Structure 1
Amino acid sequence: MINNIKKLIKNKEAQKQFIKYLLIGGSTAVFELMLYAFFRKVIRFDLTLSNVTAVAIATLLNFILNKGVAFKGSSNFFHSLILYIILFCLNTIFSTYAIALMVQYGVLDILAKLITMALITIWNFILYRKVIFK
């Protein structure tokens, strides 16, 4: 895994992909937050419905943009989508438990969230590049 990361760091194409990946992730995160606020404040959905709807829409947009812009894979759309959803679910489970564990050991929850987000960002990029959008 460390060797793969070192190769990716030196690879110019991978560097460009990573920048696109980060821009897409950042913009869809902002979009998700805006959707959440819209559903909560304008449409007056309850908290859970607002969050689930915003996450679902932003996740779909993130998938489409990553497939079409950052990774431009020729992979089967539905195959990639299934793998993407599985990874999304695993990341959600991991982050939920990792944050809870770190908080239990005295780490501030926001710091624990940032640590898990950083880890997920790194391995998602590798998995998107090597598996999901290949």
Structure 2
Amino acid sequence: MSAGGPGGAERVHGGDARPSPRGFRALLDNGVVRYLLVGGSAFVVDLGLLALFHELLGWPVWIATAVAFLLSFAYTYTLQRLAFRSERTHGTALVRYTILVAVNLVATSGLVALLAVTPIGWVGAKVVTTAVTTVWNFFIYRYWVFAAPRSDAASTSAPTQEV
């Protein structure tokens, strides 16, 4: 027997109520939320590697940034592919992702190096750069890297008549 309604609780055996999984599942069904959760964890991995290479190993910030960025590649690709629930073949998605990563690598390394000499330092530079790339990456992932292949989209549209 279901209680229904906006409360989200269901009545089960003996009148016990259990919370509906709708709240958490609805949150995870949101593509932006999944993207941000994966991106947030990837940022922690990337920043941790950057700190390791720059602070502990003494590498120049631009080299440390580039290497940390590249090492987080597989982690981020795999989890973002899942986050976007991509049906695109791995070959195509990986090539597109690699192109985007190359663009992001140049942009990230350049911006972090440029901003690291300002009062915000290398950590602030990394945060600012990540915010900028986060916005453009969402749209590029959604509409290009992990987008459904056009043949799938075309097959769901109305048939065209030949003249």
Fold agreement, TM-score > 0.5: yes
CA RMSD after TM alignment: 3.7
**Bigger RCO (CA 8 Å, 6+ sep):** 1
Q: Which residue, 18, 21, 30 being the options, matches 2:35?
A: 21
Greater C-alpha radius of gyration: 2
Q: How does 1:1-20 map to 2 (within 5 A)?
A: 16-20=30-34
The equivalent residue for 2:128 is: 115
Distance, in Å, in 2 between the alignment partners of 1:84 and 1:25 is 14
The equivalent residue for 1:9 is: none
* Kept after mapping to 1: 8 A contact 2:69/2:105: no
| Higher-strand-fraction structure | 2
Moved over 6 A (4+): none
Query: 1:112: how far off?
Result: 2.5
Q: How does 1:1-134 map to 2 (within 5 A)?
A: 16-31=30-45, 33=48, 52=67, 56=70, 58-68=72-82, 70-103=83-116, 106-109=118-121, 110-134=123-147
Query: 1:107: how far off?
Result: 4.7
| Higher-helix-fraction structure | 1
Which ranges in structure 2 are unaligned for 5 or more consecutive residues? Answer: 1-25, 148-163
> Could you tell me the TM-score, scaled by structure 2's length?
0.54
Aligned AA (2:72)? A
> Could you tell me the TM-score, scaled by structure 1's length?
0.64
Distance, in Å, in 2 between the alignment partners of 1:114 and 1:31 is 13
Q: How many residue pairs get matched? A: 114
Distance, in Å, in 1 between the alignment partners of 2:70 and 2:114 is 26
